[in-house]
């Protein structure tokens, strides 16, 4: 019997896919029928034991009510908001309102729609599930965003962490404008087993959200609290897309008009403790690792662990958001900033809005893992395939 497995889990009448490592007990829960959201994950710690890494919902209804508040929401074909729900591309104006029942235009249209399971594999190296969504399958989408595309995402759990590999394909006859973002919720402070004081994640009550402190999937917090956790993002500038809205209509937008050097009280390069801060910002001008990857992480000093987000070249922005009143922090790799369609139409090349020709494709990946604080990151050899 192979070390890794993919199985079906019935929860609240819905079929989830569980990716599991039988050797360590690490696992991840994927909900393809609702946004292909990986709603929970226990990742291997430095000693191999599971660490409950993601902020998970107590019920699936919570995800239905707030699709971008739990697990790993996927943001496509734009991330953030589109100003007034309208944009211009190649001289044509498009109105997005009506794509979602609530008229929202935030974070694209794939985060709450059903995806198709393409493949699941498991062997001695990993467990992986691949799902896809085609915009042409949804008439309400095609009527307002008439750029046919296919987004394919593979989640892979292995002995070192969790990888999300994404591919966008232009299946239409014209150019496809898009951005792609990932919205992972790290659970901070790291949940602990209240009895042993050890990092815990291999318990069924935690999976079902019955933690000792009443938090989603959490356990008793003996780390000294979320306030001591420290956030690190290697960004030199902050981005403010909304500033373009006050410029004269039709005026060309320059990067300096919508960004500025990070002020000292928001400079995350050396790390800042969460304390009572509420982070909600777009970080830009990122320092890169060898190969062009970007790495951001949060440190929990109570257990001396880092929860790490690493993303491939092409993700030029990292959004940092700390949801008020909840034990989480989001370190989100985005390919483009909010309102990228409109900013690009006004001549701002730094938005890095992606445009694919017919038949073209784009690939990118994000990896989540846990390391001992102060340890060097492991080498990451990733691609868009399994």
Q: In the structure encoding, which two tokens stand for residue 302, read together?
A: 């109570």
Q: Output the CA torsion sign for 346, 352, 353, 356.
A: positive
Tens digits of per-residue pLDDT, 235-270? 999 988 777 776 666 667 788 888 899 999 899 999
Which of 15-29, 186-200, 229-243, 251-265 shows the lowest mean pLDDT across its residues? 186-200
Share of the chain above pLDDT 70, in %: 86
Task: Work out the burial of residue 74: count CB atoms within 10 Å of its CB; fewer than 13 is exposed, 13-18 middle, 19 or more buried.
Answer: buried
Q: Give the model's pLDDT for residue 131.
A: 98
In a domain, 385, yes or no: no
DSSP 3-state of 332: strand
DSSP per residue, 89-158: ETTEEEE-TTSSTT---TTBSSSSS--EEEEEEE-SSEEEEEEEEEGGG-HHHHTTS---EEEEEEEEEE
Task: Work out the burial of residue 381: count CB atoms within 10 Å of its CB; fewer than 13 is exposed, 13-18 middle, 19 or more buried.
Answer: exposed
By DSSP bridging, strand 317-321 and strand 328-334 are: antiparallel
Which of 58-67, 131-140, 187-196 shows the lowest mean pLDDT across its residues? 187-196
Residues contacting residue 86 through CB under 8 Å, at least 6 positions apart:
93, 94, 95, 96, 342
In a domain, 255, yes or no: yes
Q: Give the model's pLDDT for residue 379.
A: 56
Residue found under tokens 């951005």: 179
By DSSP bridging, strand 149-158 and strand 126-134 are: antiparallel
Structurally, the chain folds into a number of domains equal to 1
Q: How far apart (Å, rounded) are the C-alpha atoms in residues 316 and 326?
A: 27
Tens digits of per-residue pLDDT, 204-230? 222 222 222 222 333 334 334 888 999
| Structural domain of 9 | 4-372
Q: How far apart (Å, rounded) are the C-alpha atoms in residues 83 and 349?
A: 18
Mean pLDDT of the chain: 86
Q: Give the model's pLDDT for residue 100.
A: 75
In a domain, 377, yes or no: no
Q: Give the model's pLDDT for residue 275.
A: 87
Average pLDDT over residues 64-70: 89
- pLDDT reading at 177 higher than 60: yes
Confidence bin at 378 (pLDDT 50/70/90): low
The alpha helices in the chain, defined as continuous H runs, are 60-65, 139-142, 204-207, 255-258, 340-345
Residues contacting residue 150 through CB under 8 Å, at least 6 positions apart:
132, 133, 134, 135, 168, 169, 171
Higher-confidence residue of 382 and 237: namely 237
- pLDDT reading at 103 higher than 50: yes
Range 294-315 burial, b when 16+ CB lie within 10 A, else e: bbbbbbbebbebbbbbbbbebb
In a domain, 380, yes or no: no
Share of the chain above pLDDT 90, in %: 67
Q: Give the model's pLDDT for residue 102.
A: 59
- pLDDT reading at 42 higher than 80: yes
Tens digits of per-residue pLDDT, 303-353? 999 999 999 999 999 999 998 888 999 999 999 999 999 999 988 888 899
CB atoms within 10 A of CB 47: 10
Confidence bin at 81 (pLDDT 50/70/90): confident
In a domain, 125, yes or no: yes
Q: Give the model's pLDDT for residue 337.
A: 92
In a domain, 77, yes or no: yes
Q: Give the model's pLDDT for residue 218.
A: 34
Which of 116-120, 244-248, 280-284 shows the lowest mean pLDDT across its residues? 244-248
Q: Judge contact between 243 and 257, C-beta under 8 A.
A: yes
In a domain, 379, yes or no: no
Q: Tell if the pTM clears 0.85, that is, is over it.
A: yes
Confidence bin at 197 (pLDDT 50/70/90): very low
Q: In the structure encoding, which two tokens stand for residue 246, read together?
A: 């006050």
Domain CATH number, residue 240: 2.70.98.10
In a domain, 306, yes or no: yes
């Amino acid at each position: 019997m192979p070390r890794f497995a993919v199985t079906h889990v019935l929860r609240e009448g819905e079929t989830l896919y569980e990716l599991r490592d039988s050797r360590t007990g690490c696992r991840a829960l994927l909900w393809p029928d609702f946004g292909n959201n990986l709603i929970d994950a226990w990742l291997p710690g430095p000693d191999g034991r599971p660490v409950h890494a993601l902020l998970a919902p107590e019920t699936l209804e919570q995800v239905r009510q707030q699709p971008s508040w739990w697990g790993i929401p996927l943001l496509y074909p734009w991330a953030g908001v589109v100003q007034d729900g309208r944009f211009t591309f190649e001289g044509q104006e498009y109105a997005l309102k009506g794509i979602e029942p609530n008229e929202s235009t935030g974070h694209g249209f794939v985060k709450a729609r059903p995806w198709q399971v393409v493949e699941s594999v498991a062997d001695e190296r990993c467990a992986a599930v691949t799902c896809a969504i085609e915009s042409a399958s949804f008439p309400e989408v095609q009527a307002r965003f008439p750029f046919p595309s296919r987004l394919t995402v593979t989640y892979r759990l292995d002995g070192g962490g969790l990888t999300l590999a994404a591919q966008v394909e232009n299946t239409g006859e014209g150019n496809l404008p898009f951005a792609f973002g990932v919205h992972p919720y790290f659970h901070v402070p790291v949940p602990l087993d209240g009895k042993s004081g050890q990092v815990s994640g291999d318990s069924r009550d935690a999976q079902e959200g019955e933690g000792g402190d009443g938090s989603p999937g959490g356990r008793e917090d003996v780390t000294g609290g979320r306030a001591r956790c420290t956030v690190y993002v290697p960004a030199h500038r902050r981005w403010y897309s909304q500033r373009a809205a006050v410029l004269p209509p039709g005026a060309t937008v320059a990067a300096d008009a919508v960004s500025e050097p990070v002020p000292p009280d928001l400079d995350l390069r050396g790390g800042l403790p969460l304390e009572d801060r509420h982070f909600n910002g777009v970080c830009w001008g990122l320092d890169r690792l060898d190969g062009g990857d970007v790495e951001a992480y949060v440190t929990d000093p109570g257990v001396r662990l880092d929860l790490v987000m690493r993303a491939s070249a092409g993700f030029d922005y990292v959004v940092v958001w700390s949801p008020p009143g909840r034990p989480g922090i989001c370190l989100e790799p985005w390919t483009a900033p909010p309102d990228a369609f409109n900013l690009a139409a006004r001549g701002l090349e730094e938005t890095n809005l992606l445009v694919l020709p017919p038949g073209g494709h784009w690939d990118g990946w994000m990896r989540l893992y846990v390391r001992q604080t102060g340890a060097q990151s492991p080498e990451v050899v990733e691609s868009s395939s399994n």
